[in-house]
Amino acid sequence: MRNSDNNRLSKPHFDWPLLVASYMLALYGVLAITIANFNPNLGSDRSIQQLVMDANNGRLQLMWVVVSMVVVAMMMTIKYDIIGRLWPVIYFVDILLLGLVLTTSKINGVAGWFQFLDRTFQPSELAKLALIITLSKALTRHPDRAIPNFRYFIYVCIHFGVPALLILLQPDIGTLMVFCVIFVALLFMCGFELRWMFLLGGLAISALTPVVFYLASTNNFRWLRLVAFMNPESDPTGSSYQIVNSKVTIGSGGLYGKGAWAEGTLTHLNYVPENHTDFIFSVVGETLGFVGSMVLLALYAFVIFRMLILAYYTKDRFGQLIIIGVMAMLLFHVYENIGMCIGVMPITGIPLPFISYGGTNLVVNMAGIGLVLNVTAYKSSVDLSEKQRT
């Protein structure tokens, strides 16, 4: 299939299916947030537009959807290979922001937000895209082999490790997990050898073991979340509260759901705290049911599979790694968020892409889509690494 140079996907093009599916997800998110913030006292006999405008978070999310269109357009203005050449600047700004945010006041135990009036900005979201760009560029320095020697392996690990350490110091475990997934996905795409996998695994276990013992000895809330994941019934009114209530809420939706504007739902009784952000999937499961949930998952599957196909038909290694990095980021977000809502993954505070309320997360996800569209629009029909060798 890849040898078919006449295939449209192997040539520079603007990938409308990916963009349309992404904005279908974003509008699905506006609907879900509006449902979560719906006030039954105002009645449901109004247009969707009125319902969205009357729901404060729904209205704000719609505004961010509009802003993201501008961001996608901006991402298309500079060719991705030029963006790659600017990697030292991107890396420096990334490290600077992650370092400065450590001096801010903690919110929910995490020093991860800059406060601007009544709005917040989370630099760790931007750091995900920065990591994808800079690490993809670092892994194309040696066209013949991804990891030619131990010295270069250390360089790649440091390249990843500095921003990852700053994320850990916040501490934002959820984002750190996303960083690790992006790192491993890009290394795997480059064909790294099994020995590097064992070495990375050993380093990770060595680093995490004392952290786990520390959390357990201090009865830290992150340790309690892990215990709640392994045994949800251990503390149903405490650390297991969100997991247990989320599962009950999703299960109560049945096949077709209770209805988006039905009165007396668990969603509108705030049975699951933060149900417009991290636990937005519980809203979808209860009000739109199994069918609504499957529609959402089908849209995600299309976006992920589309990026996989686009990467397959991209011959430029740098562009290919960018697509794989964005795909890995979104895939893990979806898996972790929905997993924690149904009790098969621990709670980490990772939002559901395009759906959870939050301007920074939505705009960064759309910027990632814009970066993929940039690659498909400007990619070369010849592998640039091959051109360098010749």
∠ CA 213-279-249, rounded to 5°: 110
Number of folded domains that form the chain: 1
Residue 231 has which token pair? 């045994």
Mean pLDDT (whole number) for 225-232:
60
Highest mean pLDDT among 130-144, 183-197, 216-230, 359-373: 359-373
pLDDT (tens digit, 9 = 90+) per residue, 295-344?
Answer: 999 999 999 999 999 999 998 889 999 999 999 999 999 999 999 888 88
pLDDT at 48 over 90: no
Q: 1: pLDDT confidence band, cut at 50, 70 and 90? A: very low
CB 220 within 8 A of CB 325: no
Read off the pTM. 0.88
- pLDDT the model gives residue 366: 96
390 part of a folded domain: no
- The reply to whether 299 falls in a domain is yes
Q: Which amino acid is at 366?
A: M
d(CA 184, CA 241): 33
Residue 224 in any domain: the answer is yes
Select from 331, 244, 259, 243 the least CA-distant residue to 292: 259
155-159, 238-242, 281-285, 318-322: least confident range: 238-242
Give mean pLDDT, residues 153-167. 87
Provide the residue range defining the domain that includes 71: 8-380
pLDDT of 223 over the 60 cut: no
Task: List CB contacts of 378: < 8 A, sequence separation 6 or more.
Answer: 12, 79, 80, 81
pLDDT at 389: 45
Q: How far apart are CA 285 and CA 283, in angstroms?
A: 5
Position 24 in a domain: yes
140 part of a folded domain: yes
How many other C-beta atoms can be found within 10 angstroms of the C-beta atom of residue 221? 15
Q: Is residue 389 part of a domain?
A: no
pLDDT over 90, % of the chain: 42
CA distance 56 to 154: 48
Helix (H, G, I), strand (E, B) or coil at 119: strand
Please state the rounded mean pLDDT for residues 248-276. 86
Q: In angstroms, how far is CA 52 from the centroid of its own chain?
A: 25
In a domain, 385, yes or no: no
Residue 159 lies in a domain: yes
* Segment 12-17 long-range contacts (CB within 8 Å, at least 24 positions apart): 12/376, 12/377, 12/378, 12/379, 12/381, 13/376, 13/377, 14/373, 14/376, 14/377, 15/306, 15/310, 15/372, 15/373, 15/376, 15/377, 17/302, 17/306
